[in-house]
Amino acid sequence: MRVTPAKRKWTGTLPDKFIATLVELVSAEALRETVEALAAFPTRHTFSPHLGEAAGRISDQFTAAGYTDVVRRPWSHAGHSGDNVVCTKPGTGSGDPVIIVCAHYDCRMEDLNNATARAPGADDNGSGVAAILEIARLLAPVALSATVRFVAFSGEEQGLWGATEYAAQLHAAGTDVYRVINLDMVGRPPEDGSVTVERDEGNAVPSNDAASQALGAVMAQAAASYTALPVKLGPIYASDYMPFEAHSDVTVGAYEGEGNPHYHRTSDKPATLDYGYLAAVTKTVLATLLAEALDVADEARSAVDLYIRDSQADTGSQPSGAPNEASPDLWVRNSDIQVGDDPELGHQTPVNGVPNFLYVRVHNRGTAALGGGVARVRTYQGDSGAGATWPARFQPIGTLVIDQAIPAGGSVRVGPFAWTPHSVDHERLLAIASAPSDHSVPDVYPGELDTDLLVRFDNNVGRRDVAPQGP
Ligand SMILES: [Zn+2]
Domain ranges of the chain: 2-295, 302-466
Distance, CA 153 to ligand 1 centroid (Å)? 10
Centroid of chain to Cα 52? 29
What is the structure's pLDDT at 9? 41
Question: How buried is 261 (Cβ within 10 angstroms: 0-12 exposed, 13-18 middle, 19+ buried)?
Answer: exposed
How far apart are the C-alpha atoms of 121 and 189, rounded to whole Å? 16
Residue 175 three-state SS? coil
What is the structure's pLDDT at 95? 65
Distance, CA 217 to ligand 1 centroid (Å)? 23
Distance, CA 208 to ligand 1 centroid (Å)? 23
Architecture of the structural domain at 302-466: Sandwich (2.60)
CA dihedral 63, 69, 72, 76 (to 10 degrees): -160
Which class is 2-295 in CATH? Answer: alpha beta
Residue 126 three-state SS? helix
Distance, CA 430 to ligand 1 centroid (Å)? 47
Distance, CA 186 to ligand 1 centroid (Å)? 10
Distance, CA 124 to ligand 1 centroid (Å)? 5
Predicted TM-score (pTM) of this structure: 0.92
The upper half-sphere exposure of residue 142, i.e. CA atoms within 13 Å in the direction of its Cβ, equals 25
Q: What is the pLDDT along the chain (471 residues), one digit of tens a residue?
A: 444 544 444 444 445 788 999 999 999 999 999 999 999 999 999 999 999 999 999 999 999 999 999 999 999 999 999 999 999 999 987 767 999 999 999 999 999 999 999 999 999 999 999 999 999 999 999 989 899 999 999 999 999 999 999 999 999 999 999 999 999 999 999 999 999 999 999 999 999 999 999 999 999 999 998 999 999 999 999 999 999 999 999 999 999 999 999 999 999 999 999 999 999 999 999 999 998 888 664 556 678 999 999 999 999 988 898 889 999 999 999 976 666 788 889 999 999 999 999 999 999 999 999 999 999 999 999 976 656 799 998 999 999 999 999 999 999 999 999 999 988 888 999 999 999 889 999 998 999 999 999 999 999 999 999 999 987
Distance, CA 183 to ligand 1 centroid (Å)? 8
Distance of CA 56 to CAs 53, 68, 214, 287, 430, Å? 5, 15, 36, 28, 43
Question: Do 13 and 300 contact (CB within 8 A), yes or no?
Answer: yes
Question: Do 155 and 46 contact (CB within 8 A), yes or no?
Answer: yes
What is the structure's pLDDT at 466? 94
What is the structure's pLDDT at 2? 44
Distance, CA 378 to ligand 1 centroid (Å)? 48
How far apart are the C-alpha atoms of 148 and 97, rounded to whole Å? 9
How far apart are the C-alpha atoms of 358 and 343, rounded to whole Å? 9
Distance, CA 108 to ligand 1 centroid (Å)? 9
**Sheet of 394-401: strands edge to edge?**
394-401, 376-382, 427-434, 461-466
Distance, CA 188 to ligand 1 centroid (Å)? 13
Q: What's at 163, amino acid-wise?
A: A
How far apart are the C-alpha atoms of 124 and 108, rounded to whole Å? 9
How far apart are the C-alpha atoms of 164 and 151, rounded to whole Å? 13
What is the structure's pLDDT at 37? 98
The contacts of residue 94 (CB under 8 Å, 6+ apart) are none
